[in-house]
């Protein structure tokens, strides 16, 4: 509250303000009437709806710790998931999905930052290392290829700049006759 | 202990916020202390706004009762006085609309007249009459802003909270009220 009126008003106006500031006398009758009405009004309604939340400091700390732990767990899980994806991602439209018995569209994808050439080889192309080149997506590190496969089980591997790379997100197909580990995809029919 | 005694029992330094908490916690005398504390200023403002002691007493009691009833909604981040003033301002506006006495605004305060007649010189009495006439000629919005600023000593922030008007508009009203009052008071000399 500011009370700097003497800086703003001068002379006769200042005299007027002094007079206006005099508090009127309050009669005993009026005061008694007011208090009678207040007593008659009873207790003011409680502040249930407008009361602010009050949290004990220990509860607040415990809540913060819980949030940090949960947040960390979620972040860790997300990072693990992304790390796996950095190895490869297989988006298989038909995997675990009942579809028609004809050939089914399947998209393979593989995250290979810094790779220059990626292909896929497997049972579906007689392990030809150059028959199915993958294309790089605009993000610069994800490679994809779309194929159509008949329902069945296929072992496969990615070939990144001439080196075989296993799909870390798919089941392990075990070592082939040459000691190379590959991945496996199961394409289900209807 | 009677009610007035219990009211006096409250220390004068007890803050408004503490009294509000006590009232909400069930202390029946706490709000009475608040009412006593602010009744004078409320009555003064209402008298200057309405120009009638009887109307001012009525709206002041009404405003304090409304404040009592709405106490749970009082936000203690604001000054209690500003909050009550806001309620009182609305009651005064309503009263002015109902009675339409703006054109015949005269301070009918018998006690003030008596006091002026007994302890004042003719100059002081004349000054009071002049002030009353000048205030009566102000547009109600300007009168309200002038009284809140220079008589009730509210800040512009508090005035904005109490009236619902923005600060620029309030400053303009106060400035115009001062100019007009100064002119009216000088003309009356």
Contact yes or no for A105/A94 (Cβ under 8 A): yes
Question: pLDDT class for A70, splitting at 50, 70, 90?
Answer: confident
Between B10 and B186, whose confidence is greater?
Answer: B186
Question: pLDDT class for B176, splitting at 50, 70, 90?
Answer: very high
At residue A95, the pLDDT reads: 39
pLDDT at residue B22 is higher than 50? yes
Question: Which of A23, A29, A38 is best to mutate for the B interface (most B CBs within 10 A)?
Answer: A38
Burial A117-140 (b: 16+ CB within 10 A, else e): ebbbbbbbbebeeeebebeeeeee
At residue B118, the pLDDT reads: 46
Cβ contact, residue pair B127, A19, below 8 Å: yes
Taking only the tens place, the pLDDT of each residue in B59-106 is 999 999 999 999 988 888 889 999 999 999 999 999 888 776 444 455
Is pTM beyond 0.90 here? no
At residue A67, the pLDDT reads: 76
Alpha helices, DSSP H, located in chain B: 3-9, 16-24, 30-50, 53-69, 80-99, 110-119, 122-137, 140-146, 156-163, 167-188
Residues A123 and A131: their CA atoms lie apart, in Å, by 12
Percent of chain B scoring above 70 in pLDDT: 79
Pairing of strands A181-187, A118-122: unpaired
pLDDT at residue B58 is higher than 60? yes
In chain A, which residues have their Cβ closer than 8 Å to the Cβ of B24? 44, 46-47
The CA distances from residue B13 to A20, A23, B8, B16, in Å, are 26, 20, 12, 9
pLDDT at residue B39 is higher than 90? yes
pLDDT at residue A49 is higher than 50? no
pLDDT at residue A171 is higher than 50? yes
Alpha helices, DSSP H, located in B25-78: 30-50, 53-69
Residues B48 and B106: their CA atoms lie apart, in Å, by 9
Contact yes or no for A106/A124 (Cβ under 8 A): no
């Amino acid at each position: 509250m500011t009370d700097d009126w003497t800086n703003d008003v001068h002379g006769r106006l200042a005299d007027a303000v002094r007079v206006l500031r005099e508090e009127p006398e309050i009669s005993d009758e009026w005061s008694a009437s007011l208090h009678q009405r207040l007593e008659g009004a009873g207790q003011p309604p409680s502040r249930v709806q407008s009361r602010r939340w009050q949290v004990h400091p220990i509860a607040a700390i415990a809540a913060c710790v819980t949030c940090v732990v949960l947040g960390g767990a979620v972040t860790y899980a997300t990072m693990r998931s992304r790390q796996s994806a950095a190895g490869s991602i297989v988006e298989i439209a038909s995997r675990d999905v009942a579809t028609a018995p004809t050939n089914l569209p399947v998209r393979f994808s593989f995250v290979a930052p810094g790779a220059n050439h990626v292909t896929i080889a497997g049972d579906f192309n007689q392990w030809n290392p150059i028959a199915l080149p993958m294309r790089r997506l605009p993000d610069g590190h994800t490679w994809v290829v779309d194929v159509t496969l008949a329902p069945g089980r296929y072992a496969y591997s990615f070939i990144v700049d001439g080196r075989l790379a296993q799909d870390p997100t798919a089941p392990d197909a075990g070592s082939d006759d040459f000691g190379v580990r590959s991945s496996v995809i199961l394409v289900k029919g209807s | 202990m009677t009610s007035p005694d219990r009211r006096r029992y409250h220390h004068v330094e007890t803050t408004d916020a503490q009294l509000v908490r006590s009232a909400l916690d069930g202390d029946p005398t706490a709000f009475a202390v608040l009412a006593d504390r602010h009744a004078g200023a409320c009555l003064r403002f209402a008298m200057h706004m309405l120009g009638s002691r009887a109307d001012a007493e009525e709206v002041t009691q009404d405003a304090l009762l409304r404040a009592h009833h709405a106490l749970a909604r009082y936000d203690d981040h604001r000054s209690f006085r500003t909050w009550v003033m806001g309620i009182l301002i609305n009651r005064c506006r309503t009263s002015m609309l109902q009675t339409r006495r703006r054109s015949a605004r005269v301070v009918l305060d018998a006690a003030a007249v008596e006091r002026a007649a007994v302890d004042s010189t003719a100059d002081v009495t004349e000054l009071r009459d002049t002030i009353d006439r000048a205030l009566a000629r102000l547009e109600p919005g300007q009168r309200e802003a002038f009284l809140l600023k220079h008589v009730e000593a509210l800040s512009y922030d508090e005035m904005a909270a109490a009236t619902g008007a923005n600060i620029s508009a309030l400053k303009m009203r106060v400035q115009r009220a001062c100019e007009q009052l100064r002119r009216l008071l000088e003309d009356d000399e």
